[in-house]
Amino acid sequence: MKRLFIIRHAKSSWSQPGLDDFDRPLNKRGQNDGPEMARRLGNAGARPDIIVASPAKRAKKTAQFMADGTGYDPAKIRYVEELYLGSLSVHLQLLESLFNEADTLFLVGHNDTLTRLAEYLSGKNLGNIPTCGIVALEYADDFGFTTIAGMGKLLFFWFPKDHQEV
């Protein structure tokens, strides 16, 4: 089985008006939620083969938390520029390109594309992935990280405020 974890970056700060969106850091809540959600993943046995993330500051820090919480070397995180403002099709192409490289993949990025990606792949109406929310999907080995709509089996949808499993 292959597993895909779609992870929205933790809560970021809007307190510096002149700061470029790309450079916005995590706020206090994000600094707390990131390690907590990573710990939950680690406790659930999630061990990524690859972590890919947007290079935006808030996504990078969230990816580093996820690496730390699951025993993944943060130096091996792959930062992919297209995950910052990339469309749904860009995200799907990235997943297809990683088909043979990983059995467990963490993808850390931004909304609204991540919610659209999770809904497309799972065939479920998730509403919105909140900050630091995690959607886990599972695929049969012969499908890999298929980009066929609805082929991902929803394992869980976790988020900091209301940890819930499906």
Whichever domain contains 82, its CATH number is 3.40.50.1240
CA dist., res. 106 & res. 115, Å (int)? 15
> What pLDDT is attached to residue 141?
67
* CA dihedral of residues 71, 12, 25, 158 (deg, nearest 10): 10
Count of domains forming the chain: 1
CA dist., res. 146 & res. 87, Å (int)? 17
Domain range enclosing 54 = 2-13+21-158
CA dist., res. 82 & res. 52, Å (int)? 11
Residue 134, phi then psi, degrees to nearest 5: -130, 125
**Residue pLDDT, tens place only, 62-119:** 999 999 999 999 999 999 999 999 999 999 999 989 878 999 999 999 999 999 999 9
> Which pTM does this prediction carry?
0.93
**Residue pLDDT, tens place only, 14-62:** 887 788 989 999 999 999 999 999 999 999 999 999 999 999 999 999 9
Length of the chain: 166
Does 163 map to a domain?
Answer: no
The three-state secondary structure class of 109 is strand
> What pLDDT is attached to residue 27?
96
CA dist., res. 130 & res. 79, Å (int)? 21
